[in-house]
Amino acid sequence: MKIAVLGAGAMGALYGGYLSRGNDVLLVDVRQEQVDQINAQGLKIHEPDGTTTLCHPAAAIDTSAMGPVDLVIVFVKAMFSRAAIAGNRSLIGPDTYLMTLQNGSGHEDTLMEFVDREHVIIGTTQHNCAVVGTGEVRHGGSGKTCIGCLTGDVSRLQPIADAFTACGLDAVCDGEVLRLIWGKMMTNVSASVLTGALQVPLGYIAENASAWALCERLVREAVAVAGGEGLLFDAKEEIAKVRAVCERSPQGITSICADIAAGRKTEVDTISGSVVRASRRNGIPAPTHEAMVHMIHAMEGRAAK
């Protein structure tokens, strides 16, 4: 397959590197030093077992002279998705699939500005990765990549899942991928967003009674809103899962916490904001999530000064 990955950060580099083992892969990034390093020296992936994998995808900043590919995977931060896709329109043809494996939900709305519903792929991944240096990432852990479609039979995506699996990215097609995305979001829209607002590690959310009370409320609201979308979850089970995440990684610093500390914009609009949009769509109240969106944006404004 001919595959383009928009964004050569941690996850984009991981997927682009792995997929280049059996496909024609192009990593697209805005950083000249990253592009030059990958083209000259390859991409280093430090694996959980201590070994290092060297991959050789192509890399570029400007794709205007390039033709369409089979698959474009969007791995930039959500607030940059529209600009990234628009800036690389030449890669999109009538048969090109656009895929998002980004955190949060609702990304399909942006993707449908560039392709029809039949060519949008949504999904979620259990892999995690961190940038070590230019052209170098650390693969923290593996898991499944689940992909699905907005319309039609999900089995039509099997060749893409097979291509991923053949390259070491265990992938499955799932007709209920939207439920998986919301399930993964439960921690992000509760404990993670609170770490950003409070500027604390994950362990604090479980240890502090007031923080945990807020966390539980956020989970319960998210479960209720998901139910309004036809996605059924058990609140007690989801609360237990979120608490387990906090207790397993007590010193864990979430991306939303790190972004605020560094004065960067966060992805709150596609995380907590996706619960708010669903709430407005189906009429199930989510006042705590709405408050958290405003709180995080207020924190962003403070950090920018």
The predicted structure's pLDDT at residue 196:
95
Count CB atoms within 10 A of the CB of residue 55: 20
> Is the pLDDT at 186 greater than 90, yes or no?
yes
Question: Are 153 and 263 part of one and the same domain?
Answer: no
| 29-64-25-60 Cα dihedral, nearest 10 degrees | -40
Total count of domains within the chain: 2
Q: What rounded mean pLDDT belongs to the chain?
A: 95
Residue 305 reports pLDDT greater than 80: no
The last residue of one of the domains, among 175, 193, 225, is 175
Identify the domain boundary among 118, 140, 175.
Answer: 175
Which tokens belong to 153?
């039979």
**Per-residue pLDDT averaged across 161-168, rounded?**
97
β partners of residue 99: 73, 121
Residue 292 belongs to domain spanning = 182-304
For tokens 């090109």, the residue is: 96
- Contact (CB, 8 A) for 24 and 59: no
How would you classify residue 168: left for phi > 0, otherwise alpha for psi between -120 and 50, otherwise beta?
A: left
Total-model pTM: 0.85
Closest to 127 measured CA to CA, from 12, 259, 38 = 12
Task: Answer for the pair 42, 19: CB distance below 8 angstroms, yes or no.
Answer: no
pLDDT in tens, 41-99: 999 999 999 999 999 999 999 999 999 999 999 999 989 999 999 999 999 999 999 99
| Domain match, 84 and 193 both | no
Token pair in block for residue 28 = 């697209």
Under DSSP, the state recorded for 162 is: H
